[in-house]
């Protein structure tokens, strides 16, 4: 599983779940992404071939793993700090941005 998937899933679900579960989900997504990152073996790759070119969706090396771990830790602490927010839009946008940054790190 790509480590960015929990971020995008949480960003999509956050506006439609009950308000009392939003804080849990917004903190759980970066923590789950961190667990996925630590479980990825170094050197693993995921490719998708389209007519004319090949997309590399995931490539794990030491530097990408380090940056992804830092992004996930910042995400956990950022969502913990933002847990008092009532508006789901800001947290949802933040989770989507974190998912995009994890996707860029591993591409």
One digit per residue, pLDDT tens: the chain, 107 residues? 889 999 999 999 999 998 888 889 999 999 999 999 999 998 888 888 889 888 888 889 999 999 999 999 999 998 888 888 778 888 899 999 999 999 999 88
CB-count exposure of residue 71 (10 Å: 0-12, 13-18, 19+): buried
């Amino acid at each position: 599983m790509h480590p960015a998937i929990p971020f995008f899933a949480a960003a999509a679900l956050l506006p439609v779940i009950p308000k009392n579960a939003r804080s849990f989900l917004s903190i759980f997504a970066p923590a789950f992404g961190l667990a996925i990152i630590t479980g990825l073996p170094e050197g693993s790759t995921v490719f998708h071939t389209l007519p004319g070119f090949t997309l590399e969706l995931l490539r794990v090396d030491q530097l990408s793993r380090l940056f992804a771990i830092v992004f996930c830790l910042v995400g956990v602490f950022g969502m913990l700090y933002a847990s008092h927010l009532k508006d789901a839009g800001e947290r949802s946008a933040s989770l989507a941005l974190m998912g995009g940054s994890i996707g860029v790190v591993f591409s």
